[in-house]
A and B are shown apart, each in its own frame.
Chain A
Amino acid sequence: MLNENYIKVLNIDLTTGRVSVDLREDLMKYLGGVGVASKLLLENMVPGEDPLSPGQPIIFAIGAISSIFPVVTKTVAMFISPVTGELGESYAGGRFAYTMFNAGIDALVIKGMSMHPCYISINNNRIDIKDARAFWGLHANQVGQYIRTVEGGQGKRSIIRIGPAGENLCKIANVNVDTYRHFGRMGLGAIFGSKNLKAIQVTGDNTKEIKDQKKYLKVYNDIFNKVTDTKLMTKYHDLGTPINVNVLNIIGALPVKNLQQAHLEDDENISGEHFAERNLVRKIACVGCPVGCVHIGQVRREFDVGHEYETLNVAYDYELIATLGSDLGITDSDSILELIDAVEEYGLDAVAGGICLAYATECFEKKIITEEQTIVPLAFGNKDSYLRAIKYMAAKENDFYAALSDGVAVASKKYGGEDFAVSIAKNEMPAYHTGYGAIVGYSCGARHSHLCNGGYSYDQAHHEFNKQELVDSIFDEEVKRCVLNSLIICLFARNVYDNPTILSALDAVSAVAPENLNDEYLEQLGLRIYKTKLLIKQALGFDLSKIQISKRVFTTPAMGEILDEGITREMIEMFKKKDEELLASDI
C-alpha cells in the first residue's frame, strides 16, 4: 500500500457475514495487482472443488501505483474459472481501481455464499452486506441505476454487477463494471451468481499524503506528456481498437462465420472508420486516463409503430465487432451495436457469447442440431435470431442453451461439432487469427488470452519463422506483463511504461526499497509472479501437453498460412519446458 510497508487485504465471508482485515508485509515481495492476487488465490482456492462451490474465493487487487499515475487504471480479478476449470484472471478499467484506492484497500478476498441475494457496499472501513433480493433478475444496467439511487458517492463510486446470466450460473457470464467496462472473460459473473452476490459498490475518501511532491510531479508530468503529446497512444483515442477491423481483415486474421474464413470480402460497414462516421457519439475514459479510448456508439431502434424510437448507447471495441459481427456474418454497425447491447444487458461475455452463437449456427446449418434445440432458426447474418438466442442463453431456456451458455467446449462435447467449436483450453479463442504466435500464445498464456503475451503482435511483427525465438519471445513477454499487471497499468500504455518509466514511478512514491530500483528486480518480480500462477495451474491439474485446441484453427489459414498442429504442439512443449524450469527454480 502506498506510503506503507504492507498490503491491506479485506476479507469478506458471505456465509457468516464476517469481515476482517490483514496487513500483510509478506505480500510486498509481490508488489501489487496480479502478484498479490495470484498469491492470495493460491492461498485461498480449494483444488478439487467445483469452481462454483461456496468455498472458492474471488480475489480483487489494485496495483502498486494504481490511480496516481496516468493510465494506471485496472483492477485484476482472480478466481478459478468455471469455463476452463483452472486459473481465472480478468482485468477491468472504469472506476473500480480508483475507488478501491480511495477506500484504502489493496486487495479484496470474497468467500462463502449469502443465504439470499445480496450486494456488498464498501465505504472506507464500513463494509455492509446488503439485501439484494429485489434486484435478483434485473439486467446489469438496471441494477446499477437502483444502487445509484440508494447509495451516496456520486462521481466517485464504482458499481460492479451481474445480469441474469450470472445469476443463472451461465459459465460465460461476465461482471459489468461502471456500465461500459467489464471483467469479461472466464466466467467471473457465474461465480458472483454462485455466491448470491449481485453487485459490489465502493466509495472512499482516505487521505494519502504525497511525501515528495517535487519528485512525484516530475515523473507524473513526464508520463502525462508521453501519453498526451506523443503518438504512442493516438490510435486508441482516435478510431480506438476498431481500427483493427480493417487492419486484421487485410492480413487475413479476422474471424468470419465461426472462423470458417479469416477474411471478409466487404468489411466497409463494420470498419472502425464506418463506426466513427455513422455511430460514434462520445468517447470517455477510465479514471486516471487522459486518453479516453471508450468509444460509445449510438443506434436508434424502432420499438413500435407510430414512429416510436429508443436510443441505445453502446461501448464498442474491435474484439466485439469481430465476435458479434464478422464471426456471425453480421456486416453492419447498427446490428452489431444491438447485439453488444443485448449481451451487456443479460451479462454475458461478448467474446465467448459471439463464438457460442457462431458455433451453434454452424451446428444448425450442418443439421447436427435442429430448431427444436435452437428455438429460432439460426443463420449467419440473422440478427433477430441472435438477439433472441442471447436471451435464451442467459435464461438457460432449454438444455441446448444451458449447455451453450457454458461455452463451446461444454456444448460441443454434448452435441457434437467439436472440430469447429472454436476454443483453446476450453476458452473461446480471442479474435486474432494471426498465426503460430497467437495460437501458441493463447495455449501457453496463463489465462489463454491474447493479452497474456501478445502472440498476435509477434506474428504481425516477425516474418522469419523460428520456433525457439517465437517461444522465447512469448515467454519473456508473459513474464514482462506480470510486472505491468502488478502496477496495474492499462496494457494500451505498455509502450509508455518501459522499465525506466516504471522504476522512476515506483521511486517517486517510494513503492519499493531504493536497492530494488533496477531491471534485475523487475525481472525477478515478473518471474516470481508468473511462477505463482504456474503453481496455481499445477495445483488445479493443468497440463500443457493435454491442452485442447480447436481443429478449426488448423484448417482456416491464419494470415494466409495453414498452421500445422504438430509444429504448434512442438512449440507448446518447448514452452512447457521453460515453465518447468521456472517451477524448479528457487525464485
Chain B
Amino acid sequence: MGKVLKSVDMNKCIGCFTCQRVCAAINHKSFTDDKSAIKIRTLGGISGKFFATHCLACTGDIACMNACPSGALTARPGGGVILNEKKCIHCKKCAESCIVKAIYFTDDNSPPIICKHCGVCVKYCPHNCLIMEDKEDA
C-alpha cells in the first residue's frame, strides 16, 4: 500500500500556485517555483482551464526508472519512483522518457526535481483540487 498524488478536481482550481510555492519551499528550500515538482498550467492564458502537471505515479513498467542508467530511481510503494540522489549522474534521461514532462532539471549539475508524493501540496491546496489516493502495490 502507498499513497499517491492525484489532481482530481482541477475545475475548482483558482490558479493561486500555493502548491508550487510550498513544494519548492519545503522540498527544495527555494523561493523559486521551478523547483516545485508540481506545476500549474493553463492553455490559452489565464482564461483557459488550469491543469496540474505532476508525476502520475506509474506502476510496473516505469518509463523514467527504466531510462535511468545509474539505478538512481527505484519503484515506490503505490506508484512513482524514489530518487537516490547519490546515484544520480544528472544525465536527464529520466526527464526525456517521461511523456507527461513531470521531471525537471533546473541546472546541469543537480539531480532532477521529481515528485515523491509527500502530500504537502495537497495539504495546502485551498480548494481541495488535489488528493492523496491509497494505492495497492503493483
Taking Cβ atoms with an 8 Å cutoff, the residues of A that contact B are 2, 67-68, 70, 94-95, 98, 101-102, 144-145, 148, 154-156, 159, 178-180, 205-210, 213, 216-217, 220, 224, 228, 283-292, 294, 313
Is there contact, CB below 8 Å, between A155 and B41?
Answer: yes
Could you say which of B14, B18, B26, B34 has the most chain A C-beta atoms within 10 Å of its C-beta? B14
23 A-B residue pairings within 8 Å (CB atoms): A68-B31, A94-B46, A102-B33, A145-B44, A154-B42, A154-B43, A155-B39, A155-B42, A178-B46, A179-B46, A180-B47, A207-B32, A208-B32, A210-B29, A210-B31, A285-B16, A287-B15, A290-B18, A290-B126, A291-B126, A292-B14, A292-B126, A294-B14
**Top 10 A-B pairs ranked by shortest CB distance?**
A292-B14, A155-B41, A290-B126, A285-B16, A208-B31, A285-B14, A205-B34, A210-B29, A287-B17, A207-B32
Query: In the complex the two chains form, what is the Cα distance from A528 to B66 in whole Å?
Result: 61
Is there contact, CB below 8 Å, between A285 and B15?
Answer: yes
> Given A178-B45, A208-B31, A209-B30, do A284 and B106 touch, yes or no (CB 8 Å)?
no
How close is A211's CB to chain B, nearest CB, in angstroms? 9
Contact of A220 among B14, B25, B127 (CB under 8 A): B25
Given contacts A154-B41, A155-B42, A206-B32, 17 further A-B contacts (CB under 8 A): A68-B21, A145-B45, A148-B45, A155-B40, A179-B45, A179-B47, A180-B47, A205-B34, A205-B106, A217-B26, A283-B14, A284-B15, A285-B16, A288-B21, A289-B16, A291-B16, A313-B47
Closest to B32 in A: A207
Query: In the complex the two chains form, what is the Cα distance from A292 to B125 in whole Å?
Result: 12
Contact of B106 among A159, A207, A283, A286 (CB under 8 A): A207
- CB contacts (< 8 Å) of A148 on chain B: these are 44-45
- CB contacts (< 8 Å) of B117 on chain A: these are none
How close is B98's CB to chain A, nearest CB, in angstroms? 17
Closest to A71 in B: B16
How close is B117's CB to chain A, nearest CB, in angstroms? 20
Contact of B31 among A145, A209, A283 (CB under 8 A): A209
Query: In the complex the two chains form, what is the Cα distance from A178 to B127 in whole Å?
Result: 22
- CB contacts (< 8 Å) of B25 on chain A: these are 210, 213, 216-217, 220
Is there contact, CB below 8 Å, between B21 and A210?
Answer: no
Is there contact, CB below 8 Å, between B16 and A205?
Answer: no
Query: In the complex the two chains form, what is the Cα distance from A154 to B40 in whole Å?
Result: 10
Q: Work out how many contacts link A and B, with CB atoms closer than 8 A.
A: 94
- CB contacts (< 8 Å) of B126 on chain A: these are 228, 290-292
* Chain B, range 101-133, C-beta contacts under 8 Å to A: 106-107, 124, 126-127
Query: In the complex the two chains form, what is the Cα distance from A159 to B42 in whole Å?
Result: 14
* Chain B, range 1-54, C-beta contacts under 8 Å to A: 14-18, 21-22, 25-26, 29-35, 39-47
How close is B19's CB to chain A, nearest CB, in angstroms? 10
Query: In the complex the two chains form, what is the Cα distance from A23 to B14 in whole Å?
Result: 36
Is there contact, CB below 8 Å, between A288 and B16?
Answer: yes
Query: In the complex the two chains form, what is the Cα distance from A290 to B129 in whole Å?
Result: 12
> Given A155-B40, A178-B46, A290-B18, do A207 and B30 touch, yes or no (CB 8 Å)?
yes
How close is A294's CB to chain B, nearest CB, in angstroms? 8
How close is A558's CB to chain B, nearest CB, in angstroms? 36
- CB contacts (< 8 Å) of B26 on chain A: these are 213, 217
How close is B84's CB to chain A, nearest CB, in angstroms? 22
- CB contacts (< 8 Å) of B127 on chain A: these are 292
- CB contacts (< 8 Å) of A283 on chain B: these are 14
- CB contacts (< 8 Å) of B107 on chain A: these are 207
How close is B113's CB to chain A, nearest CB, in angstroms? 12
Is there contact, CB below 8 Å, between B46 and A180?
Answer: yes
Contact of A207 among B14, B16, B21, B35 (CB under 8 A): B35
Could you say which of A205, A220, A290 has the most chain B C-beta atoms within 10 Å of its C-beta? A290
- CB contacts (< 8 Å) of A292 on chain B: these are 14-16, 126-127
Closest to A2 in B: B31
Closest to B126 in A: A290
Is there contact, CB below 8 Å, between B46 and A290?
Answer: no
Closest to A180 in B: B46
Q: CB-CB contacts of B74-107 with A at 8 A, as 1s and 0s?
A: 0000000000000000000000000000000011
